[in-house]
Amino acid sequence: DLPMVRRLAEKGAVLDSEVCYTRETGAVQSHLLSSVLLPQRGLTTLVGRAGKLQVIGQIRVKASDHLAQIVYIAPDLQDQCNTVWLHLIDAMAIEAGRRGAHMLTAEVDEQSPLFATLRHTGFAVYARQEIWRLPAGYPLTARPLPGLLADETDDDQMDIQLLYSNIVPRLVQPITVPSVDSDGIVYRSKGRVMGYIAVSQGKGGIYLMPFLHPDVLGSEAAAILSAVVAYVNRSVRTPVYVCVRRYQDWLAESAAELGFERMTQQAVLVRHIAAGVRQTLFARLTTPALEVAAARPPTSNISPADRGS
């Protein structure tokens, strides 16, 4: 399969935004090939054939979160979908379920033919997001920051979790958790954690996923993003990407104010693999009636001689 994987890797689509915007195009292809030669933990690559058509797909399973992400599909759809793609997507869902995942997710451009194909195979839109890009070395004007930025520590976990649960809608909380490969930056203001920014870095770029409290105003949000870009040393050499989800769409204005340009609008698609039991059914247990006889006192059959012995 290696010649086929090498050939098709140049024509694929990346459905994991973090991977897409932090790795160079050639790096994504070589990563796909190396995952076949040297299988990596959590990564699974599948191949499919139907006559002359050949397809490949890769998923990444986060066993601790019971979540799987479609990383790569090749070749990318340019027109109507053939059934071989449908079979590949179903096979990825089955493989993810075998590895303990309850949901399979994908991030795809809503204008892409692949979006309609995934919807046809049982995926539902759980969230929408925009990707904003800042060119490498773009000069940012320093802005006053009323709070303090610091690297995430173990002591921040409870505050971060509370912030996350207050910002992210309950429906999408299981699928929007930052990657374990990302680094966390905490923003504190007046003694409270008012922001958390997950930072993923690679040769292709820097990918930011911010979680800012609604009380953080537009000017303060712009100052936070600007400070995070300055905080990451590699931002002068590589472009910076910000993922703005629909439930935080007010951050788009702050990104535009800093010089970011909107690249694409994506849908976060989810396909449930495991079905939950909504109501437990119990079979009625029938047992024969028990006959209860009156019991005599235990000493009624003991003679006076026995009692004294």
Amino acid making up residue 143: R
For residue 260, the one-letter residue type is F
Report the percentage of the chain scoring pLDDT > 90.
37
Share of the chain above pLDDT 70, in %: 80
Strand partners, 71: none
Q: Are 69 and 100 in contact (CB under 8 A)?
A: no
Residue 128 contacts by C-beta under 8 Å, 6 or more apart in sequence?
110, 245, 246, 265, 266, 267, 268
**What pLDDT shows up at residue 164?**
92
**Phi, psi angle pair for 247, to nearest 5°:** -75, -5
Top pLDDT among 21 and 297 is at: 21
For range 74-102, the mean pLDDT = 83
| 250 or 235: which leads in pLDDT | 250
State the CB neighbour count (10 A cutoff) for residue 307.
8
**277 or 77, which is more confident:** 77
pTM here is 0.81
Six-digit token pair at 174?
């299981």
Two tokens, residue 246: 């629909």
Share the mean pLDDT of the chain. Answer: 82
Yes or no: say if 196 and 275 are a contact pair by the CB < 8 Å rule. Answer: no
**What was the pLDDT predicted at 125?**
94
How many Å apart are CA 14 and CA 21, to the nearest integer? 9
Using one digit for the tens of pLDDT, what is the confidence trace for 162-176?
999 989 998 898 888
Distance CA 35, CA 185 (A): 30
**Paired tokens of 45:** 């690559």
For the cut 90, the answer to whether the pLDDT of residue 129 exceeds it is: yes
Q: What is the 3-state secondary structure (H, E, C) of the chain?
A: CHHHHHHHHHHCEECCHHHHHHCCHHHHHHHHHHHHHCCCCCEEEEEEEECCEEEEEEEEEEHHHCEEEEEEEECCCCCCCCHHHHHHHHHHHHHHHHCCCCEEEEEEECCCHHHHHHHHCCCEEEEEEEEEEECCCCCCCCCCCCCEEEECCHHHHHHHHHHHHHHCCHHHHHHCCCCCCCEEEEEEECCEEEEEEEEEEECCEEEEEEEECCCCCHHHHHHHHHHHHHHCHHHHCCCEEEEEEHHHCCHHHHHHHHCCEEEEEEEEEEEECCCCCCCCCCCCCCCCCCCCCCCCCCCCCCCHHHHHC
Whether 4 and 46 have beta carbons less than 8 Å apart is answered as no
Residue 304 has pLDDT above 80, yes or no: no
Own/partner long-range contacts of 293-296 (Cβ < 8 Å, ≥24 apart): none
The predicted model gives 217-244 an average pLDDT of: 87
CA atoms within 13 A on the CB side of 276: 5
